[in-house]
Amino acid sequence: MQTAMASVSTFIAMFIIMLAAMSSGILVAYANTEFISRTCNKTNNTALCIAVLTTKPQSAHASTEHDLARIALELTIDTAKHNVKVINDLDKKKQSKPKAFALAICLKAYTEATSALEIYAVSNFQMGSYPSTLANVSFAMGASDTCKKAFKRIGKESPVSYIDREMIEHCSVASNLINLLVRK
């Protein structure tokens, strides 16, 4: 009987501890969501900013605008790398000559964007050279436009328009958040 009572007591104690832990986690998550929301309200597109940042779990732990700008920059780098892979995969599927040529232009643009972000933007950001970081992000954003123009020139619909849009969105959010640091 005492063993059963002890296990019930242990169960209740564990339940209370888990409930308390979950409650504090909810409060922390709420507080961080509030911080993200307040910060994103300072940007040109609040909804997009929140949507992009909340895709990265590290955003929940950010406590400064600098943290959120760094996370947005990381997301932009991830997007550029992902786009290189997608375009490479499409290129391997033996596209027609005009499409293959347009994809080659896209691949070059996104490869250069990835390098600009990984090498220059990260370095500039770490040094606090936010205007230079913005220039690097702007350059990377241009990859989507280059790709779009390559397909327009051959009169074909771009098979990568969705990743072009994502690149523009992520670069835009990163630029808006980095801009908050320039003003300081």
Distance, in Å, from the CA atom of 165 to the CA atom of 96, rounded to the nearest integer, reads 24
Looking at CATH, the fold of the domain delimited by 2-182 is given as Butyryl-CoA Dehydrogenase, subunit A; domain 3 (1.20.140)
Look at residue 79 in the predicted model and tell me its pLDDT.
Answer: 96
Q: Is the pLDDT of residue 20 over 60?
A: no
Pair 143, 110: CB distance under 8 Å: yes
Q: What confidence category does residue 49 fall into, taking pLDDT thresholds of 50, 70 and 90?
A: very high
| Number of helices followed by number of strands (H, E) in the chain | 7, 0
Predicted local distance difference test score (pLDDT) of residue 32:
63
What is the tens place of the pLDDT at every residue in 84-127?
999 999 877 766 788 889 999 999 999 999 999 999 999 999 99
Cβ(82)–Cβ(163) below 8 Å: yes
When pLDDT is cut at 50, 70 and 90, the band that residue 76 belongs to is very high
**Cα gap 128→7, rounded to integer Å:** 57
State which amino acid sits at residue 127.
M
Is the per-residue pLDDT at 170 higher than 90?
yes
In contact, 150 and 105? CB cutoff 8 Å: yes
- Any idea what DSSP says for residue 58? G
Task: For the chain, give the percent of residues with pLDDT over 70.
Answer: 80
Q: Which of 7-21, 99-113, 118-132, 163-177 has the lowest mean pLDDT?
A: 7-21
Report domain extents, the chain: 2-182
**According to the model, what pLDDT value does residue 93 have?**
74
Contact 174, 76 (CB under 8 A): yes
What the block records as the tokens of 126 is 């770490």
Residues 59 and 36: their CA atoms lie apart, in Å, by 8
Query: Any alpha helices (H) in 41-129, and if so which ranges?
Result: 46-53, 65-91, 97-115, 122-127
Helix (H, G, I), strand (E, B) or coil at 59: helix
